[in-house]
Structures are given as C-alpha cells and as structure tokens.
Structure 1
Amino acid sequence: MAVRPPVSKSNVFLLMVTGEIESAEFPEYDGLYCNFSFFYGQDWTVLSNSSEGITQTSMRGSSPASNFVWNFPIDVTFKSTNPFGWPQIVVSVYGVNSLGRDEVRGYGSIHLPVTPGRHSLDIDMFVPEPASKLQKLVSWLIGPRPELVDPKFVARGEGREITRVSSQGFVRANVNIVMKDFSKQGYRNGTERFSNNSS
C-alpha cells in the first residue's frame, strides 16, 4: 500500500483591506480630487480587486473650516511570504489652477496598520518646493508648481533627504484590516492572545 506524501502547507499570508478615502483638509484651496495607490515590496502581490483609484472632485462648502469629503471606497487583498515591504497607501491630491490646468496640491503616504481592526489614518501631505528663488518666482508667475515624476516616490526612502518640501494639509482614510495565516507563518503582531486562528 502506497503512502501519500504529506500535503505541503501554504507559506503565504493574506492582508485584506477595506474602507474609504474619507476626507481632506486643505484650507487654501477648493475643488479637489484624490488619486490613491499602494506601494509594497517585491514579495507582495495584489490578489483581488483594485490597488488604485481616483475620487470624484469635492468642493469645500460654505464654511472656511469645512473639509473636502470623498468617501471613496478601498477594497484590496494582498498576499505575501514575509512582512518586508509592508504596503503603504500613497495619496496625491489635485485641483485646477487659475489657468484651468490640473495642479498638485499635496503628496503623502502612510503604512497600513499591522494589527487587525478598524483604524483611522491621518496622512500628512506636502508639496515639492522650487530649488531656487528664481524658479519659485517663475512657478508663481506662469506655473505649474513642481511635481514628482512618480507619486510613489514619497513611499521610498531614497532621495527624500535632498527634496525640498513644505507641509500642505492632510487626508483622512479609514481602513478595516483583516489578516489570515499571519501567525501560522511564525509572525507575531501582538494579537495572538486574542485570536490564533484569524490573525
């Protein structure tokens, strides 16, 4: 009687993310929309749904303190063999300038939470600044302001120390994190005492 070899267990874990790009605060502007995507390491793969999106344009409202509300859904599932390169959500906010052209209002990124549950994330935004006073004057007179060639640059460490930026509002995202088979791969995120099966 032949003995069947043991079935090998999967060496991957899943990270499921749902939620929304909720709102933003940019006191100086009106009529903004947000472009979002995810930046992750080479061991990560998008398993289902979309890892990027673009919201509708939102107006601030009558009150100067009003936020821009998008409530744009996020729904993506990742699989990976190790936590290195944990996904970051990357957001870019744009508006229309006085010449009718789209112009960046801010870039930002933040790592997704490493614990299951619902989380509210405030993503600090910044804009690149011209390298000289002359470039700043030219940008102010004829536009457009400096932009990044690749918005995902903000999620990388290389070259960030030589980039001149200024703070510019924030974007709020709400995410629900569900993890599967994370602890089975030998990783710990502080939730094992509550549930060894789902994290």
Structure 2
Amino acid sequence: MSISAPSAFLLNVTGQIDAGRFFGGDNLHLSYLFTYGQDWEYVWGLEECISQIARRSDDSRQVFVWNFPIDITLKSTNPFGWPQIIISIYGTDVFGNVVIRGYTACHVPITPGTHTRRLTTFVPESASMVQKLISWLIGRRPEFVDPKLITQGKGREVTRVRSQGEVTVTFNVMMKDFMKFGYDCGGSGKTPYLAATSQPQKNITMPRAGQSDA
C-alpha cells in the first residue's frame, strides 16, 4: 500500500503580541492582520483580530501590556509571498476621537522555533503644516485606508511617516512537509533561511528578515 505524497506544506504560527512603548496617549488597543502571497491558502485560526484595551503601566517601564494571542495555520506549495503580520495600534486623542498611534509589520520567522521581534512603529504625516493643523482640529489624523500598503513597495516612496514607538511580538513557528518539497527550513543554530536540499532545485526568492531577535 503506497502512501500518497503531501499536496502542500504547512506553516503554523502561534505566539502573542506582548507589549509596546508609545509616546503620549493612553488606553491603547491593537489589531493584527496576516497577509501572504497568492500561492498561500488559509487553513485554520484567525487571519485578523482586535485586542483588548491596555493602559500604560505605573512603573518605570511605562509600557502597554497586551499579551494578545496569535494563532494561524497556512499551506502552500511555494514559499514566495511568505506570510507577514501587520499590526495597527489605536488610541484616543484629547477630543476622544479614535486615532492611529502606530503601524508596523514583519515577516513570520522562516525557521521553526520560538522567536522574539521588537518592531518599530510609525504613523503617516500630513503633507503640509496646514493639513496637519486641520486634521488635528477635526480629529481626523492621516491613516492608511488599507494597512496592507505598509507591506508593499508600490506607493511607499511618496508616503511621509514618523517614528511613534515599538511593539514586541513572540512567534512560535512550526513547519510540516517542507523537506518533502525540497526546502530545508533549518532550525536553531542552522541556516536562517530556506535552502534547497539535494532534491530537484527550486528557484525561490525569500524575504529578508529586517528585524533581529531581541
């Protein structure tokens, strides 16, 4: 009795969005969204979700603690378009309007195991001082219509942003059947990228992880 070959490899990502530091404001909440290439397919879990509200800690750290879980499983036959997580942080201004406090994004780590990423957040800036003053008066600060823009190169060159704070995220990555498709995903102490094995060569382009382990 022959065992059929797998039709796709699986990527399971769990973990949590731990905490963040932000300049000004209080009572912040966040939303996250996973985005990936057209060769990937959702299997199980939550592709997007909104967290509870967190208050700034009273100690010297002055952090917002969410410990908000993430859990998603995806499958594909091609690592191109490797999944990314987009995080948007929101809070209220002095007028009680909900405004964006920061955006950030990063690729899911490309080796199995536990990984911690410290991500810098940013917010869009108005094109002029007049627009900045008007947006402050009416409580409509600049924000992206589609947060997925921050994971794309197209249009980014005309976007003005400024640094706003940072968020720490912990990923627990599990991979299944990558070797059967000719990809060596490595592991702790091994090559930190997908490399072709001795099986038939596959031409792939993997994203570089711009953030280092904390």
TM-score higher than 0.5: yes
1:137 aligns to what SS in structure 2? helix
The corresponding residue for 1:158 is: 154
Read off the aligned partner of 2:182 and give its amino acid letter.
G
Deviation, 1:10, is 2.1
Matching of residues 71-90 of structure 1 within 5 Å: 71-90=67-86
Read off the aligned partner of 1:89 and give its amino acid letter.
I
1:38 aligns with 2:34: yes
Q: Quick check: 1:183–1:192 contact (8 Å CA) kept in 2?
A: no
The corresponding residue for 2:199 is: none
Take 1:35 and 1:171, find their aligned partners in 2: how far apart are those partners?
A: 12
Deviation, 1:140, is 2.6
Take 1:17 and 1:34, find their aligned partners in 2: how far apart are those partners?
A: 19
- Among all aligned residue pairs of Structure 1 and Structure 2, give the percentage whose two residues are the same amino acid: 50
Highest Rg: 1 or 2? 1
Residue 27 (structure 1) aligned to one of 10, 23, 27: 23
C-alpha RMSD over aligned residues: 1.9
- Give CA-to-partner distance per residue, 1:120-177, whole Å, 9 cap, x none: 1112111000011211121233322101001111111111111000011011111100
Q: Quick check: 1:60–1:67 contact (8 Å CA) kept in 2?
A: yes
Deviation, 1:27, is 2.9
1:187 aligns with 2:180: no
Matching of residues 1-199 of structure 1 within 5 Å: 8-63=4-59, 65-191=61-187
1:121 aligns to what SS in structure 2? strand
Structure 2 stretches lacking a partner, 5+ long: 191-214
2:184 aligns to what SS in structure 1? coil
What's the TM-score, normalizing by structure 2?
Answer: 0.83
Q: Quick check: 2:112–2:186 contact (8 Å CA) kept in 1?
A: no
Read off the aligned partner of 1:14 and give its amino acid letter.
L
Take 1:108 and 1:146, find their aligned partners in 2: how far apart are those partners?
A: 15
Structure 1 stretches lacking a partner, 5+ long: 195-199
Read off the aligned partner of 2:173 and give its amino acid letter.
I
Deviation, 1:65, is 3.2
